Structure 1
């Protein structure tokens, strides 16, 4: 044991006890970053399952992505505080990379049974497996109000990408220039005809 510490073991301690005390005394030199270990965004990945247990995460799947695991842990307190609300439903579904739309009974067409609601989950372009679908059912059942009943759970697939559209137009006139050839001119109209006569006699009288 180092000189700066006084051993607390009795003089009749065995060599094994003294060696164990020496080894365990060095544990104080090991840094324990409690702030990091209790932070869902900074906790080492291998310790995330234990942090999820400490945060009372209802559902946990080792196959989730690291981002999904951290998001689920980070929202656990909010979900427990808001359980039974639409906000809690969103918090358990959207961290897994899905979109959620809630259709209340009065918003349905035709109007549904009071106290019921339907869900539409947007799976984007990554799709969904049977296992994940069953997991979503369990998560939603944990977060929904106990007095409310789900009448439908629809999946809506969406895909995003770039779409290029182009258009071109071609327009023109064809003009033919021919030598000038005069044609027959025809004029129509009304012609008024008139005639006049002038007759007179000239008589000369001579002396007898």
Structure 2
């Protein structure tokens, strides 16, 4: 018995497409769960991310990270153009930030400064470009970054040392010899064995 609803004059391609799409009705997932970031099957998460306009998506993320990105998307889109949105997208990378508006630091109007603490995570050149991109998506369109500082705290053991060298120069003369104290020479010797004297006669 043929259960197809396609017209008898349908092309072979149309019939096969209808047969392939018919399996969708057999999916054991309710429509409500498909739109829930925490209940949607993993294989459908990329499509849900597209539907929710997720700004940043990595296939290498864990399942939890993907679900969190989709879950945060609506919150971020509600607050785009605010400091809260900029802070949220930076914190998703594991960093923290301090933001100063132009009137706080006497910069040109419509600008702001960002200081981003890398929190021992580190950063690469591709990540800097990605950071600039997601900040550009979250910040107000009328605002521009005048300065972005990346800061990191480095911890480790440091070793220092010091030494004191003390000595005396003693001149020994034969018995009965009295040196002439009226003549004084400063002398230096080079590796060639020659001697160069400099000084003055008192």
What TM-score do the two structures reach when normalised by structure 2? 0.59
Q: Deviations over 1:2-45 (max 9, x none)?
A: xxxx95779x99xx9xxx99998776454123333222223333
SS at match of 1:155: strand
CA gap of 1:96–1:143, structure 2 versus 1, over 3 A, is same
Cα separation, 1, equivalents of 2:23 and 2:66:
34
Structure whose alpha-carbon radius of gyration is higher: 1
**Structure 2 spans left out of the alignment, 5+ residues:** 156-202
Deviation (angstroms), 1:117:
0.4
2:92 to 79, 95, 113: 95
Q: Is the 8 Å Cα contact of residues 89 and 138 (structure 2) preserved in structure 1?
A: yes
- Aligned partner of residue 128 in structure 2, secondary structure: helix
Distance verdict in 2 for CA 1:98–1:23, change over 3 Å: closer
Structure-2 residue corresponding to 1:61? 58
Q: Is the 8 A contact 2:102 2:110 kept in 1?
A: yes
2:140 to 145, 152, 165: 145
TM-superposition CA deviations, 1:88-130 (whole Å, max 9, x none): 112222122221221112333xx22222101122221221222
1:114 aligned residue: 109
Aligned to 2:76: 79
Counterpart contact for 1:120–1:155, Cα < 8 Å:
yes
Q: In the comparison of the two structures, how many residue pairs are matched?
A: 151
Q: TM-score, normalised by structure 1?
A: 0.58
Corresponding residue number in structure 1 for 2:38: 41
C-alpha separation in 2, matches of 1:129 and 1:43: 33
Alpha-carbon spacing, 1:29–1:51, altered in 2? closer, same or farther (3 Å): closer
How far, CA to CA, are the matches of 2:154 and 2:65 in structure 1? 20
2:198 corresponds in structure 1 to none
RMSD of aligned Cα (Å):
3.6
| Pairing partner for 1:51 from 39, 48, 52 | 48
Report the CA distance between 1:52 and its aligned residue: 0.9
| Distance in 2 between residues matched to 1:56 and 1:33, nearest whole Å | 22
Measured in 1, the distance between the counterparts of 2:128 and 2:110 equals 24
Counterpart of 2:67 (choices 67, 70, 76) is 70
2:127 paired with 1:125: no
